[in-house]
Structure formats: structure tokens, C-alpha cells
């Protein structure tokens, strides 16, 4: 079913949708002073909405916990010697309003 779904929408439309979602949430998150985007979200050729964001005063685990407990937004905390941040993984079915809710939650955490 997943392959049939992918074939129905096509790779170009799928990539465009994911780029749109990336630009929507990451573009706004990049303006939040307490955050640092670890993924080059506005780089030409990106075709995924996935990115990693770090909070300057919270650990990835703390940020992921706050996003879920206070806002019911599930993310993945990555605490590794090479990268420390929270991976945000929108998909095709993610609504633009969901991206806006993520940005609002990140702003409220400060």
C-alpha cells in the first residue's frame, strides 16, 4: 500500500510538500533566539521536512519532554557526542497548522 500511495502522488509532489512543511516550521523556528537549527533547512536540494533543533539552555531530553507533556508534540531527543538536539519529523499527512503549533510551542518554551 505504501508503494502504491507513493506512486499515486509521485516523487516530485512528495518532495515539494516536504519542502513546504520544512520551510514553514523551520523558517519560523530559526527566528527564535533560544533555538539553533542544526540542519541546513534552507539549503537547495532538500526534499525532506525532517530537521534537528537544539535549545540553548535545555537538554534534548528536556525539550522533547516539554514538547510532549505540555503540547502533545512528539519529537525524538538525540544526545550523542556528534549531535545534541531534538529531531522533528513531519510527514506528508502533517497539516500546516501542526507546523504552526510546533513553532508556537517552541516559542512558549522560550
Contacts of 41 (CB under 8 A, 6+ apart): 22, 23, 26, 27, 30, 51
Cell triple for 66: 516539554
- What would the mean pLDDT of 72-83 be, rounded to a whole number? 94
pLDDT digits 0-9 by tens, 55-70: 999 999 999 999 999 9
How far, in Å, CA of 58 to CA of 45, rounded?
A: 31
How far, in Å, CA of 110 to CA of 16, rounded?
A: 30
pLDDT for res 6: 83
pLDDT for res 47: 65
Mean pLDDT taken over the chain: 91
> Could you tell me which of 102, 82, 105, 106 has the C-alpha nearest to residue 22?
102
Q: Is the pLDDT of residue 105 over 70?
A: yes
Amino acid at each position: 500500500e505504501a508503494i502504491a500511495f507513493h506512486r499515486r502522488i509521485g516523487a516530485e509532489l512528495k518532495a515539494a510538500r516536504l519542502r513546504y512543511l520544512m520551510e514553514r516550521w523551520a523558517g519560523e523556528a530559526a527566528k527564535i533566539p533560544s533555538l539553533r537549527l542544526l540542519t541546513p533547512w534552507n539549503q537547495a536540494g532538500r526534499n525532506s521536512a525532517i530537521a534537528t533543533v537544539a535549545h540553548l539552555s535545555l537538554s534534548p531530553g528536556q525539550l522533547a519532554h516539554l514538547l510532549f507533556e505540555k503540547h502533545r508534540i512528539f519529537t525524538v531527543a538525540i544526545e550523542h557526542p556528534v549531535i545534541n538536539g531534538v529531531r522533528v519529523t513531519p510527514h506528508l499527512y502533517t497539516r500546516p497548522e501542526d507546523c504552526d503549533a510546533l513553532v508556537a510551542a517552541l516559542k512558549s518554551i522560550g
